[in-house]
Structure 1
């Protein structure tokens, strides 16, 4: 009996001591981040021999822990995204930065120059305003570039942290395996550290954790790409994408090879940075580039339709850089054989898409289009340089795209070669002034008109449009005069019939039964060939005659200057929006996205905190509860000591009886 009491009392002492130690461990770690409250479990010993200490376990719910990691990742994603978008929204919405004011100043200065085309000072002011507008496009482009650089810096820092965390988790796997292999007790503190590290990792990416058959933690990205495998941790890094150098491509390095990571739904701050880069940086850069292409093409095309201060046909006012073409490493040498440019007067067809050029057979190519998100847009375009008509420089015009493409040395390019280019990418940064001064502004019309003084009617002739001044495709010769066989006069043979005559007075076209008196050369089928057209203010009479000549242009003529002015409200961007409206759309898009992300950030923080509270209710240390437990285990320890004392007294009494 005494022996049995000794055994019961001793087991009680051991049990109470173990529980007191556990309570002390909990109390000591009340402020330790990531610490999970522990509990020592006991079972009754068979044969009324007291109690057995089973083990000391962490009080954790793996489902709740996984939910915390998921919610932490989501909040970190939106918080990072929102922080970057807020900064960009604040910068773009500044009046001193917005393009709207610069566009207004430029066209107001053009208006002033139109009021007095002979004023050199007003012309120079218009030139300076246009130069300032070009500078602002560069400023905005640099702003976007700085944001991209900031993304790169933060991403580099984040990847360093990620690799450090995964290495620590891997090292803890080794320690856990060693410690639990030498003891029957679980390595609770080490596993707590792993859980905390996994939570910290979730701030950067969405991390999925599992435990292998050895009980060791493995970690992978949401798409299944491993970050921690047993006792090793491959490196996550940025790798260059030769086909798209401006994109950010991640890969997991396994020592001798890299495996590219899909960045869709990457989560965490890294996912936020990547999505910000795609949804703001890339979008803003291409939008500004589309702007730059639109205004450059429109102003250059229009300026070429007039005469500058020196009486010469207008030259380019603005200039764009070359469109960059990218390909894989083994095809780099072939880039010199390919060039792309925006078709003159076709900028409205240029989108923000990326184009992929690849060879299909001996001489033909196809062009695929992809939007900012990499989705295919529209059918493939055929490019057949052998059977398509090229211009004198070797470029083939693709009407569907608004682009000219030239591929020389066709035999060097194979079906394995793929080339990509994005016309709008970096276009704003490469925009520059071509005009040297205000005299280069072609404000005057290239041809004048006159109404003969002896006409019977009150009808007056006016120049209605100028569409083309190229010497090889219009009535204008290279020296600025009209060709002899071009339309020089219009003579009405009746109130609704007329003939168009050349410089010698010979008829070159006849129109009968004219119902209206606008665009007379178009009605005669000569407008496209002439490159200009004329209209009358009212009904003519038989015998009325009207003349057209480059010598009739007055020094204060501003016909083309007004056309340049009208570009301010013209639908230049994709043929839908004006420059001002398009930029306002960019600002609105950024503001809307910022507000949307702000809402997600606020709600995800609430959800994350709720998950943390659920975890704390189970796993966090409560000092009140531990105080009660300590008192209970102290009393249990004292009671067990009394059992041992009673056993000793009983044993001594039995010995006394035996004597």
Structure 2
């Protein structure tokens, strides 16, 4: 009996010792990230039947239980992935927000200064200083566009670098998780049902760290292993086998880094939307939804200013009595053929896609995908807009979509595609073409005159020209005479077509010599691109002359027209001025930045809540552990006392004779 008692005390002593060790282990690791508290689970020893009843044989250690809730762990991982994504997005978009909204370094001051110089030139067209100021302000505007685009390009390069870094880190985590899976599996098999708790904690912490980089889904497997997948179910770790991501270049843009998934030696390029969550997902979302749009929008504004200003400048006359040419350069559309397109042996039959901006007022902020399928080409925005068919194909002339002329030759293989970026280079390639102040076309190429000896009160307007003038100007000078009997204006070139519009209505054609061209005050008369109107009442034989401008140096009519472009609704289909288009960009970035910041704050709160819930289960409570120390200390002492009594009883038995 004494021996049985000694065995019982010994088992209690060992159990208390295990409890003290486990409690001490908890206390020592209380500050270790990812550590889950452990508790000794005891069970009764096998009782022996002595006839009069079963007598216990002490206790035994059934398990060292690890307190870890898989559901709460998943919540923490998801919250962490979401927060990391918004934080990464926020750190990137804040740079653009600060850049565009800067009252001194943004586009607005340069744009205002440029048009202020145009207004000064209109006020004093013969001033050399005013002309020089226009060129200086134009150079400053171009420099501002290029500077803003250069900073956006730096951010884009930084995104490429971060993607590369994140991919390397994700692959490292995958390898470590796979290695721990293997170790845990080996210990599980060798120890039966026992679990290597500390290794499992380390693995869970690695999975949490992985979720900081990319959202990962975890599925329990055999032998306490974990299967980790990312994105749309792509396996990253299966048992002891890690899979890898790779850095790849975009099939249509060699300067754009994308993510690839390794399958053996083959790399499959993934869409940016296939890897949501985590810092990597946040960076990709920022590039797709904000950076691309910001750079495209800035380029669109630059192209809009360049094209419309050039168009008006071309209608003017410079100080040398020559027609104005291009004032700004216009960035060309960038077209990239996919590297996955089917190779063509004969270059003459290779598919070709060209794109050029023909109407900047209709441009959007989108890029376009030109795909060949079902025997024709289809054009859609890369964000997934409704495809527009190129019809007819083969083309007889370029087809214009959203202000972009698509010129496509030769059929392709089913599924081949091209990406067109019409505005991405607009800001970077915005330059001042005019270098000589005398080449600034401030005047108009035509002048009008109402002779003083006219008897009536009618007067002819100053006159202006439209784009038709550049393609076929009428022979000047032109003298118009009023015929009172018929009410007609006579003197237009025989056989020419005069377009007359009343009250801003659509111009109506009148053929000289066939249709009467009646005088009406307020109507606009267009002959070969020359526009004039009349006021007052003419008398019989009154004459009005239209002639070439002999002196453009002191004329300000085209400068006035150029100045009016500042407040004219031109972009977005005639709904936005240059300034309001830029303000829309600044507003979009500002609102998106605020949205991301709010989401980040909410994400931090959510992560704090779910982490607190997780720690209520898994976290080490030092007060509780201190209590356990006392409990196990007392148990140890009590078990020792049992052994002492057993020893005394045994000695008593030995002393009996």
Distance 1:114 1:576 in 2: 26
Cα distance, 1:87–1:179 mapped onto 2, change above 3 Å:
same
Give the structure 2 partner of residue 501 of structure 1: 491
Q: Secondary structure at the match of 2:391?
A: strand
Shift of 1:461: 0.4
Q: CA offset at residue 465 of structure 1?
A: 3.8
C-alpha deviation, 1:323, in angstroms: 1.9
Residue in 1 aligned with 2:559? 561
Number of the residue aligned with 1:317:
327
Partner SS, residue 318 of structure 1: coil
Q: Look up the match of 1:435.
A: 434
Q: Which runs of 5+ in 1 are unaligned?
A: 389-395, 477-481, 522-526
Question: Equivalent residues in 2 for 1:147-546 (5 A)?
Answer: 147-184=155-192, 185-245=194-254, 247-264=256-273, 266-329=276-339, 330=341, 337-343=352-358, 346-359=359-372, 365-370=376-381, 374-377=383-386, 379-382=388-391, 384=393, 386-388=395-397, 396=398, 398-407=399-408, 410=410, 413-415=412-414, 417-468=416-467, 473-474=471-472, 476=473, 482-483=474-475, 488-494=478-484, 497-502=487-492, 508=513, 510-511=515-516, 516-521=521-526, 527=527, 530-546=528-544
Gap change, CA 1:300 and 1:207, over 3 Å in 2: same
* Equivalent residues of 1:107, 1:565 under 8 A apart: yes
- Mapped contact 1:173–1:230 kept (Cα < 8 A): yes
The alignment partner of 2:554 has SS state of coil
Deviation at 1:400, TM superposition (A): 4.0
Residues 207 and 399 (structure 1 numbering): CA distance in 2 closer, same or farther, change over 3 Å? closer
Does structure 2 conserve the Cα–Cα contact (< 8 Å) formed by 1:367 and 1:383? no
Q: Quickly say closer, same or farther: Cα 1:654–1:551, change in 2 above 3 A.
A: closer
2:24 is equivalent to residue 24 of structure 1 = yes
CA distance in 2, matches of 1:349, 1:22: 72
> What whole-Å deviation, never above 9, does each CA across 1:598-651 have from its counterpart, x for those lacking one?
111112111111222222222222222112111111211222222233334434
State the match for 2:505 in structure 1: none
State the Cα deviation string for residues 135-168 of structure 1 (Å, max 9, x = none). 1100010111111122222222222222222211
CA apart distance, 1:22? 0.9
How much has 1:117 moved relative to structure 2? 2.3
User: Which stretch of structure 1 is more off in the superposition, 639-648 or 497-506?
Assistant: 497-506
Distance, in Å, in 2 between the alignment partners of 1:331 and 1:110 is 52
Deviation, 1:348, is 0.6
| TM-superposed deviation, 1:383 | 5.3
Structure 1 residues 169, 3: CA separation in 2 closer, same or farther (over 3 Å shift)? Answer: same
| 2:52 alignment partner in structure 1 | none
SS at match of 1:227: strand
1:110 matched residue in structure 2: 118
Q: 1:31 to 1:360 in 2, by over 3 A?
A: closer
Report what 1:576 is aligned to.
575
The change in CA–CA distance for 1:302 and 1:538 in structure 2 (over 3 A counts) is same
DSSP-derived class of the 2:46 partner: coil
3-state SS in 2 of match to 1:203: helix
User: CA 1:489–1:608 in 2, change beyond 3 Å: closer, same or farther?
Assistant: same
Give the drift of 1:415. 5.0
The alignment's TM-score, normalised by the length of structure 1, stands at 0.89
Alignment equivalent of 1:140, drawn from 128, 132, 148: 148
List per-residue Cα deviations over 1:337-376 (Å, max 9, x = no partner): 5432222xx21122222223345688xx5341215xx221
Question: Retained in 2: the 8 A contact 1:500–1:508?
Answer: no
- Aligned counterparts of 1:631 and 1:504: Cα–Cα separation in 2: 117
Cα distance in 2 for residues equivalent to 1:245 and 1:206: 27
1:504-533 CA-to-partner distances (Å, cap 9, x unmatched) read: 999546446655432033xxxxx4xx1121
How far is the alpha carbon of 1:286 from its aligned partner? 0.3
Aligned pair count reads 626
* Pair 551,79 (structure 1): closer, same or farther in 2 beyond 3 Å: closer
Give the conservation status (yes or no) of the 8 Å contact 1:201–1:207. Answer: yes
Per-residue deviation, residues 582-602 of structure 1 (Å, max 9, x unmatched):
111111111111111111111
Distance 1:631 1:501, change over 3 A: same
Q: d(CA) in 2 for partners of 1:61 and 1:459? A: 93
2:15 aligned with 1:7, yes or no?
no
CA contact (8 A) 1:500 1:510 kept: no
Say which SS state the counterpart of residue 490 (structure 1) adopts: strand
Structure 2: where are the runs of 5+ without partners? 48-55, 497-511
Q: 1:620 to 1:642 in 2, by over 3 A?
A: same
Change (3 A) 1:420 1:488: same
| C-alpha deviation, 1:179, in angstroms | 2.5
1:45 CA displacement: 2.2
Q: Which residue number in structure 2 is paired with residue 633 of structure 1?
A: 632
Counterpart Cα distance in 2 of 1:629 and 1:517: 100
1:28-80 deviation line (CA, Å, top 9, x unaligned): 21222221110110112232222121010211111111111111111112222
Is the 8 Å Cα contact of residues 495 and 513 (structure 2) preserved in structure 1?
no
**CA separation in 2, counterparts of 1:501 and 1:384?**
47
Q: Indicate the SS of the match to 1:214.
A: helix
Contact 1:85/1:590 (8 A) holds in 2: yes
Aligned partner of 1:524 in structure 2 is none
Distance in 1 of aligned mates of 2:289 and 2:415: 31
Under a length normalisation based on structure 2, what TM-score does the superposition of the two structures give? Answer: 0.89
Is the contact between residue 303 and residue 331 of structure 2 (CA under 8 Å) also seen in structure 1?
A: no
Matches within 5 A, 1:9-158: 9-47=9-47, 48-158=56-166
